[in-house]
A = this chain, B = another copy of it.
Amino acid sequence: MSPETIQAFALAEFPVVEPHDNLVELILKSVEQSKQDLKDNDILVIASKIVSVSENRIVNAIDVKPSQKALEIASKNDFDPIHVELAIRECVEVVRTEGVLITQTSTGLICNFSGIDKSNAPEGKYILLPRNPDSSASQYLKSLMNSTGKKLAIIVTDTQGRPWRRGSVNLAIGCAGIAPFKHNKGKKDLYGRVLERSTVCQVDEIAMLAEPLMGQAGKRVPVVIVRGYSYSASEETAKDINRPKHEDMFR
């Protein structure tokens, strides 16, 4: 493998994760079953679904009574009223309700239905996003680095649609041990001129790279290892990816 090679591979299939499961233990077990070792600078990409479930972010449909507002949004769009109600409860702002239900969650993420999922959830249940994916990533990282003695990074991902472009993609909603951005400011272009600004969202790029291995429908490979990618850490986290309202022209 040349030094300029990035590799991504899936860990062995997981059991179905249950509330209060210890994800770090499950990951270490899966690494062992995959006959792999974690190496310095490996990035573990973790599907938010298993983070949510282990944190018991599951709601029973029968416990939810849709509000008048939820009923109205559901009715005009032919949406599930309970799904709408939960999306409203989980958000700090409703951004758009025509044909979509775009909201902003408490971590700043702008997404469909506050990221609440019905597919891959047990019948009659809804899975909410992790309450604070950056903080979850940070906890797992500490524990994994303690257990393995390796310098690692973690990215928690969720699949989302996008304005302007069809088809969903995997996005980073939490990270630890890796900076969300790669800043090229001050570097020189091909013609020797200094770039004024050029910021790449590297954790989103790595999230996307992991998605094909995670698969979507019914696959149980919620953890992907990315190896060979050079990165550094920073004070910023995935929360900083969300544009503040004043710099967002499309809300």
Contact = CB atoms under 8 A, between A and B. Distances in A.
A180 B248 CA distance: 28
B119 A195 contact: yes
A32 to B, nearest CB: 15
Contacts of A164: 110, 163, 242-243, 248, 250-251
Contacts of A217: 184, 187-189, 195, 198
Interface stretch (A65-73, A96-104, A145-153): A96-104
How many copies of this kind of chain does the complex include? 2
A72 to B, nearest CB: 18
A250 B212 contact: no
A158 interface: no
The number of chain A residues touching the other chain, given as a range, is 35 or more
A217 B195 CA distance: 7
Contacts of A9: 2, 4-6
Contact of A205 (B192, B212, B240): B212
A4 B212 CA distance: 10
Contact of A165 (B182, B195, B201): B201
A6 B211 CA distance: 11
A102 B200 contact: no
Given A200-B167, A209-B205, A220 B190 contact: yes
11 contacts: A96-B250, A100-B249, A119-B198, A120-B191, A165-B243, A187-B216, A188-B218, A192-B218, A200-B216, A202-B212, A204-B208
